[in-house]
Amino acid sequence: MAGRTPLKLVSGTSNQKLAKAIGDHIDAPLTGCDIERFADGEIFVRISENIRGEDIFLIQSTSKPANDYIMELLICIDALKRASAKRITAVIPYFGYARQDRKTGGRTPITAKLVANLISEAGADRVLTLDLHAGQIQGFFDIPTDNLFVTPVFEDDLTRNYDTSSLMIVSPDVGGVVRARSLASRLGADIAIVDKRRPKPGQSEVMNIIGDVDGRDCIIFDDICDSGGTLCNAAAKLREQGATSVAAYVTHGVLSGKAVERIESSELSELVITDSISVSDDALKAKKIRQISIAPLLGEAIRRIANEESVSKLFD
């Protein structure tokens, strides 16, 4: 790319397909990095090219198995630091442990803060991530942190695939209203809110729908789909309230356990996810699950950071 500030991309093993797509987008091939696991599970990293004085972008989602990928991220950062990289940006499309962002009861941890500390102490100079579960997690880092939003990517996809005049953007809970309103304002759509309660982690119960969804094409907009229970329950309730159709747009497709089966048998017409997480073959083959790429968005953000340009202008 003409005029591009020199930079190097390094990828962990969590999502190498996305890393390569980012590299293709900004014309920056992946730097050689050998990652091995010993018989007892210990991780060994060797950077196979000279990176002394280079601007390094290390791409690694901390998805399942989260603990392994977090440790791999930390070891890669340490290897890069000891190889005399000029600057290390940890590009974490999906930031694991983000849901543990506050004390939920007595004698419980704030694990998102712990992971942020580990990344900083390992030697990262800055962090680039996408749709953090809670915006305040940016403040957990003592280094510059850019939290990108998937909204423009979803806006483009919705505009191409739906009649936006009939859309109703639905927040799956009260906490996601700001996120839903952001997308709705870009599309000129109305919003509705799912009133739910969570008896225990991993389970949700839809109590009511706030807003008139009768005759509308509803789009549930959320940051994470884990077990799929919230989305499926919300879709059933929306259809019950008269919604013409219900689809879901979710940034991070965690899709744990029987999530794929649950979605396939639900009232959802489709679930659209990004490639922030490398999902299973079953998910990719599912009729109701469609994946779109965030490589152009992340690639442009990386290019801007390398060139010391504004990242926030991506969302103007």
Does the annotation place 156 within a ligand binding site? no
What one-character DSSP code corresponds to residue 5? P
Instruction: Name which of 257, 255, 259 is nearest 276 in CA terms.
Output: 255
How big is the chain by its Cα radius of gyration, in Å? 20
Does the annotation place 230 within a ligand binding site? yes
Does the annotation place 133 within a ligand binding site? yes
Distance CA 281, CA 252 (A): 16
Helices then strands, counting H and E runs in the chain, come out as 9, 14
Q: State the distance between the two ends of the chain, measured CA to CA, in whole angstroms.
A: 24
Does the annotation place 40 within a ligand binding site? yes
Q: At what angle do helices 177-187 and 151-161 cross, to 10 degrees?
A: 50
Does the annotation place 244 within a ligand binding site? no
Per the listing, tokens 């008139």 go with: 212
Does the annotation place 111 within a ligand binding site? no
Does the annotation place 261 within a ligand binding site? no
| DSSP 3-state of 205 | strand
Instruction: Name which of 5, 1, 2 is nearest 87 in CA terms.
Output: 5
Does the annotation place 222 within a ligand binding site? yes
Distance CA 88, CA 171 (A): 35
Query: Quick one: tokens of 115?
Result: 């992971």
Does the annotation place 62 within a ligand binding site? no
Does the annotation place 275 within a ligand binding site? no
Beta bridge partner(s), residue 236: none
Does the annotation place 229 within a ligand binding site? yes
Does the annotation place 173 within a ligand binding site? yes
Active-site residue identified among 8, 81, 113, 196: 196
Is 196 a residue of the active site? yes
Distance CA 193, CA 209 (A): 6
Binding-site residues for ATP sit at 40-42, 99-100
Binding-site residues sit at 40-42, 99-100, 133, 173, 198, 222, 226-230
Q: Which residues does the annotation mark as catalytic?
A: 196
Binding-site residues for D-ribose 5-phosphate sit at 198, 222, 226-230
Binding-site residues for Mg(2+) sit at 133, 173
